[in-house]
Every structure is written in C-alpha cells, then in structure tokens.
Amino acid sequence: MPKLPTKSFDRSLWVFHVNTGSCNGCDIEILAALTPRYDVERFGIKLVGSPRHADALLVTGPVTRDMEDKVKRFYEQMADPKVVIVIGSCGISGGVFHESYNLVGPVDKVIPVDVYVPGCPPRPEAIIDGVVKAWMKLERLRREKK
C-alpha cells in the first residue's frame, strides 16, 4: 500500500482528457467521477480544454492510426513536469481491439505512461485512485526540479 500524502497537495491538478480510440465506456466513467456523487473538482482536479494548460494527460482507448500524431502532439504541448494516466484495459494492452488493423498499439507504445488504471471500464473510485497516484508523482517531480 503506497504511503498516502500526509499534507495537502501544493497545487490543484489540471487534467486534459483525450480519447484515442475508446468505445466511450471509460470516458463515461471519467464523467461519473466529475458528477456530484464523487465531485473530484472539490479536490482541485479539473478538466481543461488544452494540453498547454494541463499537468496530467488522461488517455482512454488504444491509439488508432489517425490519433497517433495527435496524441504525440498533445504530450509534447504540455509543460514539464507532466504525467500521463491511461484509463481502461484498451489503452493498456489494446483490449478487445488488440488485433485490429487500424491500431498503432497501446498508449505506452506512443508516449511514456506513468499510471495505468485497468478495467473495462474502471470504476470512478479506481480512476480517482490512479489520478491521486499520478498527482503524488507530479508533486515529487516538481520538488525534485526545484
């Protein structure tokens, strides 16, 4: 069991969500994490509309050929330090689409990934857990850079 943070985080976490070929199941669970039942925005976790504003990249689905250059660009447009979270089995291994002719492969074949959240789709609790782990890594990276 990883050590939980004993103090509050330094900064809120701005997240850019990208669907690289998901069936939308994982995307719906991400939305569920934002709804009043879980309401992650109260912890400062916020979805933003541009990777240039984001600390974390949240990726759902395997990477299709059409999305390969785009997901690379999303990653390159984010300022350092940054973290990448993959939500769902398809982004981790290709899932049920792993033999599809139209896939480049799982997300870590295209960009470096920090946190994997397995599931088809993962529950919002699992997504929040993965995001918090990524957040802890980001804070650590920030402190190392100082």
Q: Which residues bind other proteins (CB under 8 A)?
A: 18, 50-52, 67, 69-71, 73-74, 76-81, 145
Pick 20 or 93: Cβ nearer other proteins: 20
CB of 23 to other proteins, least distance (A): 20
CA 58/CA 49 separation, integer angstroms: 12
CB of 77 to other proteins, least distance (A): 5
Pick 51 or 124: Cβ nearer other proteins: 51
Pick 33 or 57: Cβ nearer other proteins: 57
CB of 82 to other proteins, least distance (A): 10
Pick 98 or 143: Cβ nearer other proteins: 143
CB of 101 to other proteins, least distance (A): 22
